Structure 1
Amino acid sequence: MKPYLRFFFFSLLLSFFLLPGLTLAQTTINGQVLDARTKQPLEGVSITANSGEQSISSSQGQFTLSADEAERVTLTLLGYKSQQISLTNNRANLRILLQPEATRLQEVLVTGYENKRPLLETAGAISVINQSVLQRFDESSVVRAVNTVPGIRMDERAPASYRISIRGSSLRSPYGIRNVKLYFNGIPLTEANGTTSLNTLDAANIGSIEILKGPTASIYGAGTGGTILLESRRAAVGETQLQVGATTGSYGFRRYLASVSTGSAKSNVLVQYTRQQYDGYREQSAVDRHVLLVAPEFYVSPKHTIAASIIYSDLYYELPGGITKEQYDQNPRQARGGMFGSVAQNASMNQDGFNFGLKQEYTFNQSWQNTTSIYTLHRFRDHPFNTDYERNTNLELGGRTSFKYKTQLGSIATNYTFGGEVQRGLEAARTYDNIGGQPDSLRTDDEVTATTGFVFGQAELELPSNFILTLALSANDTKYEIDRLAQATSGAAYTYVKDFKTVLSPRVAVLKKLSDQISAHASISSGFSPPTEEEILTSDGELNEDLEAEKGVNYEAGVRGYTLNNRLSFDVVGFYFRLSETIVSQQQVSSVAVFRNAGATSQKGIETALSYTLFDDPEKALSLFKVLGSYTYNHFRFKDFTKGEADLAGNEITGVAPHTATAGLDLATKLGLYFNLTANYTSEIPLNDENTIYADSYFILGSRVGIRRNLGNHLNHLAFEVFGGADNLTDQTYSLGNDINAFGTRYYQPAPDRTYYGGLTLKYRL
């Protein structure tokens, strides 16, 4: 670890443990009022005691009220639901979360770029997936929900085997998630080696998703693909709820859930267990996954919050492998065959994982705030693949700290954000010959140390005439050290070090509020993405010593807002991304993916999202009628790219569909009945760099219908939901997760045909 990273890491640990946890004296009624969704302070809240005394919350949401005889207080603010708090057990350090009214929800607040601003005031291409979108589907995965977002494509090459592309970034991802950074409750899921195991989470763990498209290195470190921020579900204030549920469906799909959640002025806790099993549509595609999530938040004082995130997962899933076009047309349910067939070799993933993160937020005063987290992960993998057998153990430590400072530069309100992040992982990796699903002769024995870190700074200036200017810069550093302890071919031990030079990544963005409902934004940002460990150390044991980091510059401009009496929302973004030293992948004879730099690419596109609410009135018989849609156009081309003797400059970028579109319909009634319909279209996709083979376009439909109700009378605290649905109603034969540049033309990973599911959920509110 470099000296400045070591200093930063220890400074981060000290800042976490030494920040004061001050509490206020309990001689008066005092506390802080926050938005229940964003946890941002609310100014101007009226606090009225039942004895008549009144107070108003400050810009930090804090209030003090002298009312010795008061037994309760009522809080009111325009746009929020009024709330009454009993003072029987506590009169000091109250933390009160106000729920927005339905009309307030139309202006979405986001945490992207750590500014926690309304989306209308955020200069960047950000898409938000909330509970209403996640619950349109069966919660077996988040794939279908994510694919409703323009500019995003999420693949499932096999059940629980995910791949995410933001603006075409799966070019270097034949499997797994790379070049996209993920956080869960503010704590990195992406490891120091550049990979992310999203399958350690269950879809039910997720309450919301924010997707930041394009280079976001100014705040979230190295990357050219984008950043995804996941937040867990949270109970409403004053609610304690027990929940159990079960779902069953086609091809042996079974899913079970049990959770308890509670929310109060002093804490919010979620404990959730899920199990998902699936026999599989294809041969060798079964899944068995257990996930336990414990996510508590404790509001020590109006100034101090401590939160934890504990995830344990036990995951097994089989890998059917890619098949040829002839096999795909003949029988899409078959697995890869032959000498190294998936069934014969028991190709599968076996993984136990434990993630633990601890985070605190502390507000020193109205100007200064700090958020600091420390985290660790332990992962154990035992994988028979088609051509080899891998056993890996990984241990990682990391931390992140971020300071915010609010001030005035004359008449200009200014927000500064600065801090850093560091991760260090040690992996013991062994590969063996695979003989019928059992490890045989040792091929390689490696110890891999990955260290990555960055420091960042950002300034936001609220200029006259409703302009907001953002200036940001980060310095990113990555290093891999590979100690080869044994190798079957040579037997010689050696050490290889790949140290990438520190790279500065700037970002400049400007936003103009055209009105209270419409804003326009533009930005220029630079991205830097070093190869992952798996791209340098391939599964055949070879070292890819010549591979260099990608670098790119992204230009984008967009407009978003609401119109037609807030019924119509729209978000339109155009972008141009120039990428150099582009990393591409290709399979060898042994089906091992190898990587190399391929000159440059030019990526241009338009992303649009629309939503129109005809009416939304819970008191009417038909309480909700809403339509939504999105469309993405990609004009992605190779530049200066040769492959052998062939000049491929001007070819379409492999694995990217030029056109994708989504449309949806939501209906709900006062009685609790609901209906969701979702349609997806994807155009032809080039499967090789030469553009001689394309996957067919496809159009699929999915629907869900159900009823949610309280039982009433003596069981007023008991609610239920009965639901059923179908996917691929059009019964299309299509491939979701194509293997690009596959050896032997095994490009296709067929998705299931028409499938059905149904389930029951019970909730008991204490």
Structure 2
Amino acid sequence: MKLPLPLYTIVLFFLVLSLPQALLAQRLVSGQVLDARSELPLEGVTITASSGEQAVSNETGGFGLTVPETARRLSFSYLGYRTQSLAIPSEGRELRVLLQPTGASLQEVVVTGYQTNRPLLETAGALSVVGSEVLQRFDESSLVRAINTVPGVRMEERAPASYRISIRGSSLRSPYGIRNVKLYYNGIPLTEATGVTQLNLLNAANFSQVEILKGPTASIYGAGTGGTILLEPRRAEAGKSQLEVGATAGSYGLRRYAATASSGSEKSNLLVQYSRQQYDGYRDQSALDRHVLLISPEFYISDRQTVAASILYSNLYYELPGGLTRQQYDENPRQARGGVFGSVAQNASMNQEAINIGVKQAYQFSDSWQNTTAIYGSHRYQDHPFNTDYERNAYQEFGGRTSFVNKSHIGSIATTYTFGGEFQRGLEVARTYENQGGSPDSLRSDDEIVSKTGFAFAQAELELPADIIATVALSLNDTQYDITRLAQATSGGPYNYIRDFEAVLSPRVALLKRLTNEVSVHASVSSGFSPPTEEEILTSEGTLNQNLEAEKGVNYEAGIRGFALKSRLTFDVVGFYFRLSETIVSRQDISSVAVFRNVGSTSQKGIETMLGYMIIDDARLTLSQLRVWGSYTYNHFRFKEYQRDDMVLSGNKLTGVAPHTATAGIDVLTKPGLYLYTTANYVDEIPLNDENTVYSDAYLVLGARVGYKRQLAGRLGLDIFGGADNLTDEKYSLGNDLNAFGGRFFQPATDRSFYGGIRVSYNL
């Protein structure tokens, strides 16, 4: 139908009026991206608007991006540099963006340890950071190799996913599992009220950063003499929505698949990740199958309020090959433990299914007051046939943590006060049976254990004249176990046992002095208190260990850290002396069950060093970055007072601790996207029994990863990689069984092995 001329005129008139409005709905944002250190232009940086538009910087570092009026932020990402998010400036103003290399100086690395949220250069204490760039040096199938780059820390893998972490010799009482080291995930306790951490339920890809606090940290993180590990979850990059899939395959049947969806905006951040890892095993009876689902949302309610949550579901199965004698280890390291209670015959394995849900809120009441509160709940089910018994356990726990921070002044002295508390309560229903070829038989024990632990803490931090920061902290810790022995209840005997460890005050005093803008020194004295875990009180074969006391210790340390030579050289050196009393040690009895006792005291002295040097750091060159780094640890650990029956062991070396360890690496990044990481790890011989009559061999292993990482066509990202572990083909034991009965000390590690994979991302 033909419209009359006046209507044509009206339509055309409105179209002309709306055209300027359509043009005004978009605008051009431009600027330049530079290296923060050299201020040289960076070519190939991906710029992503919060509304989805993308551009890539040119050879001068310049970029131009047309975005709608609704866009609020730009995200800048580049291989070898930290991703940065900036607000879009007012129209007509160009951006000048300085990207920090991943090897940024200590001045730039902000840590959450001791809840100070200060740069590492202003943090008093022996603290190491394992960033995402370190985690991605390896194949992400395990945290072991990344954690072992840190001086003073040793992570072991007795079997695939059977982890043990030692900070300054704290594995003395850990024949298996992680004890005497407290772990937090996103500020929520991952260590259970029982004192044990189920780290094997997660994988390395769940974390963006790991902070390790060495020695007693009871002032903020409660009971413990070993240390504290803070795990930061992966988050979506600000202003970017992305889909990512990856696959890795390697020697001995390694398969790993992962899919991640993430979206970051001004008001929220959401990451959903699923991964599955399978492994046929280097040794007999050493297969693995693990599923992990992580949902990690974060909401920015207002400028004052942030709410974050984490949902972790894990389904884990792995087999236990068992320890070997020296003769078996020399003859065939790939065999499993044999005999009547052999690992294959008894189907020795771990079956766990768990879910952990936590919610955390940070609220800024005013410029001087803020609060962070977290609550969580978890459930875990275990079904484990072991070599000599069969365990079926169900565990439930809830808990919470809150901390208040007040910033004020005492005269002209700026002060920060932190105080709060933490509480955990767990209930475990544990039944132990005879193991008949991998199936439960007659009932051995039937127990219900209620574990309760908590502490209150307070800390004051004062910024004194002459660039001195003083910290004074105190915590009051309490732990209780309530054990009901249902099997004994039917026989009319005593069936309830309560062990309440007396509340203990643990202080910490620290001083830090900024010598220059590039160097600081620090010193601290801290007290530690570590009650026995539930598994040390009630052993796996059902015996109550009623006389076990808590460990107590005092730690003295001093260190220097900083950077020099135009920020190319970074260094961190610390010396410490730790005196531990009521030391808990473990031994295996004839049935291979670990039993625990207090044996007097230990003297632990050591030096920990970390060095890094950036040889080349020029984004214009084909070889754009070349960095070398290394760490070294010296341990002089001795039993100070130790007598077992008629045998005096005072003066012996501390079991399970190598006197010398060292790690070194070379990182190579190129402008086209090729990269190479090499890592060498040396461990000295380790005493495997308290008598110091058996030692593991010293070893040097070399690993490497090479790959190509590039942003293609703006939205598509590609990372193709391949690598090798134990290139030196060393024969060594990673995760020795200490004081093992029958001489079964050795848990052989994998020989030379290879892997390769691909990761593809797409920016929506």
Flag whether TM exceeds 0.5 (same fold): yes
In 2, are the aligned partners of 1:71 and 1:87 still within 8 Å (CA)? no
SS at match of 1:736: coil
Alpha-carbon separation, structure 1, partners of 2:140 and 2:384: 26
Q: Which residue of 1 aligns with 2:728?
A: 730
In 2, are the aligned partners of 1:73 and 1:87 still within 8 Å (CA)? no
Range 412-421 or range 615-624, more displaced:
615-624
Q: Which residue of 2 aligns with 1:105?
A: 104
In the TM superposition, residue 200 of structure 1 has moved relative to its aligned partner by: 1.1
In the TM superposition, residue 80 of structure 1 has moved relative to its aligned partner by: 10
SS at match of 1:486: helix
Alignment pair present for 1:749 and 2:747: yes
In 1, are the aligned partners of 2:235 and 2:296 still within 8 Å (CA)? no
Q: Which residue of 1 aligns with 2:510?
A: 509
1:427-506 alignment runs, 5 A limit:
427-487=428-488, 492=493, 494-506=495-507
In the TM superposition, residue 82 of structure 1 has moved relative to its aligned partner by: 7.7
Instruction: Pick closer, same or farther for the CA change 1:491–1:159 going to 2, 3 Å.
Output: farther
* 1:248 aligned partner, one-letter code: A
Superposed CA deviations along residues 136-181 of structure 1, whole A, max 9, x for unmatched, are 1111101000000000000000000000000000000000000000
Alpha-carbon separation, structure 2, partners of 1:636 and 1:247: 40
In 1, are the aligned partners of 2:83 and 2:237 still within 8 Å (CA)? no
Alpha-carbon separation, structure 2, partners of 1:567 and 1:99: 17
In the TM superposition, residue 618 of structure 1 has moved relative to its aligned partner by: 2.9
Instruction: Pick closer, same or farther for the CA change 1:464–1:445 going to 2, 3 Å.
Output: same
Q: Which residue of 2 aligns with 1:181?
A: 182
Alpha-carbon separation, structure 2, partners of 1:710 and 1:236: 15
In the TM superposition, residue 536 of structure 1 has moved relative to its aligned partner by: 0.4
In 2, are the aligned partners of 1:284 and 1:342 still within 8 Å (CA)? yes
In 1, are the aligned partners of 2:421 and 2:456 still within 8 Å (CA)? yes
Alpha-carbon separation, structure 2, partners of 1:666 and 1:709: 17
Instruction: Pick closer, same or farther for the CA change 1:510–1:84 going to 2, 3 Å.
Output: closer
Alignment pair present for 1:635 and 2:636: yes
* 2:88 aligned partner, one-letter code: I
Superposed CA deviations along residues 211-242 of structure 1, whole A, max 9, x for unmatched, are 00000000000000000000011222111110
Superposed CA deviations along residues 472-512 of structure 1, whole A, max 9, x for unmatched, are 00000000000000059967461000000000000000000
Alignment pair present for 1:83 and 2:86: yes
Structure with greater Cα Rg: 2
SS at match of 1:102: coil
In 1, are the aligned partners of 2:73 and 2:239 still within 8 Å (CA)? no
SS at match of 2:330: helix
Instruction: Pick closer, same or farther for the CA change 1:403–1:643 going to 2, 3 Å.
Output: same
Q: Which residue of 2 aligns with 1:653?
A: 654
* 2:614 aligned partner, one-letter code: T
In 1, are the aligned partners of 2:85 and 2:238 still within 8 Å (CA)? no
* 2:343 aligned partner, one-letter code: S
In the TM superposition, residue 751 of structure 1 has moved relative to its aligned partner by: 0.2
In the TM superposition, residue 101 of structure 1 has moved relative to its aligned partner by: 3.4
* 1:101 aligned partner, one-letter code: Q
1:512-591 alignment runs, 5 A limit:
512-591=513-592
* 2:746 aligned partner, one-letter code: Y
Q: Which residue of 1 aligns with 2:30?
A: none
In the TM superposition, residue 100 of structure 1 has moved relative to its aligned partner by: 5.6
In the TM superposition, residue 83 of structure 1 has moved relative to its aligned partner by: 2.8
Alignment pair present for 1:155 and 2:156: yes
SS at match of 1:259: strand
Instruction: Pick closer, same or farther for the CA change 1:72–1:424 going to 2, 3 Å.
Output: closer
Q: Which residue of 1 aligns with 2:594?
A: 593
Alignment pair present for 1:759 and 2:757: yes
Alpha-carbon separation, structure 2, partners of 1:254 and 1:260: 21
In 2, are the aligned partners of 1:513 and 1:519 still within 8 Å (CA)? yes
Alpha-carbon separation, structure 2, partners of 1:71 and 1:612: 43
SS at match of 2:301: strand
1:601-612 alignment runs, 5 A limit:
601-612=602-613
Alpha-carbon separation, structure 1, partners of 2:456 and 2:366: 24
SS at match of 1:535: helix
Instruction: Pick closer, same or farther for the CA change 1:305–1:104 going to 2, 3 Å.
Output: farther
Instruction: Pick closer, same or farther for the CA change 1:264–1:651 going to 2, 3 Å.
Output: same
Instruction: Pick closer, same or farther for the CA change 1:82–1:650 going to 2, 3 Å.
Output: closer
Alignment pair present for 1:121 and 2:122: yes
1:138-153 alignment runs, 5 A limit:
138-153=139-154
Superposed CA deviations along residues 376-418 of structure 1, whole A, max 9, x for unmatched, are 1100000000000000000001000000000011010000000
1:573-722 alignment runs, 5 A limit:
573-712=574-713, 716-722=714-720
Instruction: Pick closer, same or farther for the CA change 1:314–1:493 going to 2, 3 Å.
Output: farther
Alpha-carbon separation, structure 2, partners of 1:396 and 1:264: 33
In the TM superposition, residue 711 of structure 1 has moved relative to its aligned partner by: 2.4
In 2, are the aligned partners of 1:348 and 1:383 still within 8 Å (CA)? yes
Alpha-carbon separation, structure 2, partners of 1:487 and 1:305: 50
Computed over aligned residues only, the root mean square deviation of the Cα atoms, in angstroms, reads: 2.0
Alpha-carbon separation, structure 2, partners of 1:300 and 1:472: 32
In 1, are the aligned partners of 2:168 and 2:215 still within 8 Å (CA)? yes
Alpha-carbon separation, structure 2, partners of 1:122 and 1:175: 32
Alpha-carbon separation, structure 2, partners of 1:191 and 1:640: 31
In the TM superposition, residue 72 of structure 1 has moved relative to its aligned partner by: 7.2
In 2, are the aligned partners of 1:528 and 1:551 still within 8 Å (CA)? yes
Superposed CA deviations along residues 186-211 of structure 1, whole A, max 9, x for unmatched, are 11100000000001111110110000
Identity %: 69
In the TM superposition, residue 709 of structure 1 has moved relative to its aligned partner by: 1.2
Instruction: Pick closer, same or farther for the CA change 1:314–1:71 going to 2, 3 Å.
Output: closer
In the TM superposition, residue 639 of structure 1 has moved relative to its aligned partner by: 1.2
* 2:587 aligned partner, one-letter code: Q
Alpha-carbon separation, structure 2, partners of 1:312 and 1:205: 12
Alpha-carbon separation, structure 2, partners of 1:659 and 1:407: 45
In the TM superposition, residue 102 of structure 1 has moved relative to its aligned partner by: 3.5
In the TM superposition, residue 699 of structure 1 has moved relative to its aligned partner by: 0.4
Instruction: Pick closer, same or farther for the CA change 1:181–1:251 going to 2, 3 Å.
Output: same
In 2, are the aligned partners of 1:234 and 1:270 still within 8 Å (CA)? yes
Instruction: Pick closer, same or farther for the CA change 1:99–1:366 going to 2, 3 Å.
Output: farther
Q: Which residue of 1 aligns with 2:738?
A: 740
Instruction: Pick closer, same or farther for the CA change 1:86–1:261 going to 2, 3 Å.
Output: farther
In the TM superposition, residue 619 of structure 1 has moved relative to its aligned partner by: 3.0
Alpha-carbon separation, structure 2, partners of 1:487 and 1:632: 49
In the TM superposition, residue 662 of structure 1 has moved relative to its aligned partner by: 0.3
Instruction: Pick closer, same or farther for the CA change 1:71–1:283 going to 2, 3 Å.
Output: closer
* 1:184 aligned partner, one-letter code: Y
SS at match of 1:553: strand
Q: Which residue of 1 aligns with 2:296?
A: 295
In the TM superposition, residue 741 of structure 1 has moved relative to its aligned partner by: 0.3
In 2, are the aligned partners of 1:503 and 1:528 still within 8 Å (CA)? yes
Instruction: Pick closer, same or farther for the CA change 1:334–1:465 going to 2, 3 Å.
Output: same
In the TM superposition, residue 616 of structure 1 has moved relative to its aligned partner by: 2.1
Range 689-698 or range 616-625, more displaced:
616-625
In 2, are the aligned partners of 1:148 and 1:662 still within 8 Å (CA)? yes
* 1:332 aligned partner, one-letter code: P
In the TM superposition, residue 244 of structure 1 has moved relative to its aligned partner by: 0.3
Unaligned runs of 5+ in 1: 1-69, 89-97
SS at match of 1:338: coil
1:146-545 alignment runs, 5 A limit:
146-487=147-488, 492=493, 494-545=495-546
Superposed CA deviations along residues 540-571 of structure 1, whole A, max 9, x for unmatched, are 11000000000000000000000011000000
Q: Which residue of 1 aligns with 2:50?
A: none
SS at match of 1:375: strand
Normalised to the residue count of structure 1, the TM-score between the two structures is 0.87
Superposed CA deviations along residues 401-443 of structure 1, whole A, max 9, x for unmatched, are 0000000110100000000000000000000000000000000
* 2:411 aligned partner, one-letter code: G
Alpha-carbon separation, structure 2, partners of 1:82 and 1:257: 26
* 1:566 aligned partner, one-letter code: S
